[in-house]
A and B are shown apart, each in its own frame.
Chain A
C-alpha cells in the first residue's frame, strides 16, 4: 500500500490564483480530512469527509473548497489564494470515525506571494 499520498510537494502561487491540492489513499478508508500547519501552532482542521459524497467544515474552512466523489480521493481547492494561506497542508485518513487511528500524508508546502 502507498498509504496517503499528496501532490504536489511544493507549490508557489501568486495572490488571487487558484489551485487544487491532491490527496489519495489506497487503504479503503471512509474518513479523510485536511489540516494546515503553521509555525508555532498546532495543526488545524480545514475540512473533512466521512464518506463519498459527504463533506463538512472544520475549524478554518474559509477560502477552501472540497468534494469527495470517490472513496480514494479528497482534493482541496484554493479558490483565490491569499498570503495568509501560506502553510503546510496535510491530508489524513482513517478506516472509520471515532475509534480508529489516523494516517497522514507527507504534506504540501504552499507559498502565496
Chain B
C-alpha cells in the first residue's frame, strides 16, 4: 500500500519568500505524480503533472522535482504571494490510482 507523507504539515511565511514543500512516498513504482492545490471548502485544482521519466516540471512560479528511486518530490513556489495561501497535496499514481498525503497548509502573510 502506498504511503504518502508531506512535510511540513503547516507553513507560515512572509510575502515574497520562496516556499519548499516536501512529499515522500514508499512505493517507487509510480507512473506519474500530481501536485494539487485545495482552497478551504473547495475542490482540488491540478498544478503540475510530472511523469515518472521526468526529473522536473515547471509552470510559471511553480517548479516540481521528482526523484522516483528515492520516493521524493518537492514543490517550489517562488516569490510567494498571499493568494498562494492554500493546502497543497501531492499524489503519486500507480495502477490507475492516486494516493494522497494529508497535505501542507501554507499561509503567506502580507
Chain A residues with CB under 8 Å of chain B are 31, 33, 35, 40-45, 48, 50, 58-59, 90, 92, 97-99, 101-107
User: Closest CB-CB distance, B60 to chain A, in whole Å?
Assistant: 17
Cβ contact of B46, chosen from A40, A59, A102, cutoff 8 A? A102
Give the interface SS of chain B, mostly helix, strand, loop or mixed: strand
Contact assessment for A99 and B31 in the assembled complex, using a CB-CB cutoff below 8 Å: yes
Count of chain B residues near A, Cβ 8 A: 25
Contact assessment for B93 and A98 in the assembled complex, using a CB-CB cutoff below 8 Å: yes
User: Closest CB-CB distance, A62 to chain B, in whole Å?
Assistant: 16
Chain B residues with CB under 8 Å of chain A are 1, 4, 31-32, 34, 36, 42-46, 49, 51, 89, 91, 93, 95-103
Give the interface SS of chain A, mostly helix, strand, loop or mixed: loop
User: Closest CB-CB distance, A67 to chain B, in whole Å?
Assistant: 18
Contact assessment for A107 and B97 in the assembled complex, using a CB-CB cutoff below 8 Å: no
Residues of B within 8 A of A97 (CB): 96
